[in-house]
Each structure stands twice: as C-alpha cells, then as structure tokens.
Amino acid sequence: MKKLTQIALAVAALAAAVDASAAVQTYTVNSNVLNYTKSSAAGALDFAKFDATLGTLESVQVQLFSNLGTTVKVENTSTSSASTIKATAGALLTFTLSGVSQTLTSSDSHTFNASVFDGLSNYAGTSGGSYTFSSPFSSSSTYSDAASLALFSGTGSAHANLAASTTSVIAGISGNTRSLVLPSFSGYAKVTYTYATPVPEPETYAMLLGGLALVGAIARRRKSA
C-alpha cells in the first residue's frame, strides 16, 4: 500500500508538472532585413502571423534591431589651427502595423584629431579622416490588448512598415570643417508570441486515475499469489 501511495503521488506530481509547462508556450519568428543607404526611406517588414490553432494568444513582443553603419568623412581646412572634430550619426526607425507603432533610436559619435590643413582636401592625411560606425541597437515593446493581438493573428504573413531617417552633426573647434556623410543602417524585427494551450479535459485525469487503480490491482494480485 505504501508503494502504491508513492506511485500515486509521483504520477500526480508528474501530471501537474506537465500541465503547468504546457499551459503557456512561446515561439519567435524573424522578419526580413531591410538595408538603407539614404537619409530617408521606408520598406516592408514581413513576418509570420500567430497560428491560432495552437491556442489562445496572450501577448506579443516586438523587438526591433538596427545596425548603424554610417560612414563620416571630415577635413580640417584651417591653415592656422588644428581641430578636434566630433562626428555624431544616428537613425530613427518607426515600425507601424495598423494601430501598433513603436520606434528605435540609434546614435553614436566619433572624434577626429586633425592637424592644420595639409593641402589636400581628400578626407585623409593629417588634416582629415574617415570613420565607419558599427553600432547595434535594439528596442522592445509588448502588446496584450485585444485589438493588437488581432493584428498579429491569422494565416499567412503580417506586413509592417518600417520608415527610417538619419541624423548627423559634424562639429570642429576650428570652425573650418568640410564633411561628407554616407548613411548606412539596417532594420529588422523579432516577434515573440506567448499563448495558452488547451487544458486537458477532466476525462484525461479520470483515465490517468483509472490506469493507476489498475496498476494497484495488479500489484495486489502479484503480492497475494
């Protein structure tokens, strides 16, 4: 009897653990990657919608990612003084899917120490330089209202708009700075769906208990034999 009780407790604990782990599930889908080389542009991010046959969608997390790869070139054109030139570049990405909207802002800076003008306006030498950023950025938002969940549910793919614009500021202490900015950055999304799976019907537990009773009966017969 003691052994049977131990078996019952073990099976009950296992059933509870399986039910708890299966009640809430998540999975993540990735969108395509958009690459921008203009100061202002827009494109479509496509990703799979939530498959409603899996269960009830409870929340959606949208993560936006971007890598800032803008190149800045500077030249100190002063013939009388050296210059410390600070170049700041950034981008603003706006994700829009009907009533859902979120943004990702990226910004980074680099400092050049330029000598007096070396006679060559080529963004190189001692009075000039070039630098390409390689800076990853991300943002995240979670949606759980009914209207938003409906936008992410269904068959096929969702098509979100990703608008982008760049910013840049070049500042040198000499006041005589020539510059060139070549925008470059990417954008994509990861969408994570959190959903509840159907809870097993009471009949499932009845079958489990019935099977357990059968095991106990067999054990008793073996003991009495």
Asked, for residue 209, whether it belongs to a domain, the answer is no
Residue 86 predicted with pLDDT over 90? yes
Handedness of CA 3, 8, 11, 16 (dihedral sign): negative
Check residue 174 and give its pLDDT: 86
Per the CB < 8 A criterion, the answer to whether 139 and 103 are in contact is: yes
Asked, for residue 214, whether it belongs to a domain, the answer is no
For 116-150, how does the pLDDT look when each residue is reduced to its tens digit (9 = 90+)?
999 999 999 999 999 999 999 999 999 999 999 99
Model confidence at 20, pLDDT cuts 50, 70, 90, reads: very low
Residue 85 predicted with pLDDT over 60? yes
For 183-207, how does the pLDDT look when each residue is reduced to its tens digit (9 = 90+)?
999 999 999 999 999 876 555 555 5
- Per the structure, the count of domains in the chain is 1
Asked, for residue 9, whether it belongs to a domain, the answer is no
Asked, for residue 5, whether it belongs to a domain, the answer is no
H-assigned helices in the chain: 2-23, 146-152, 202-224
Asked, for residue 221, whether it belongs to a domain, the answer is no
Instruction: Give the predicted TM-score (pTM) of the model.
Output: 0.76
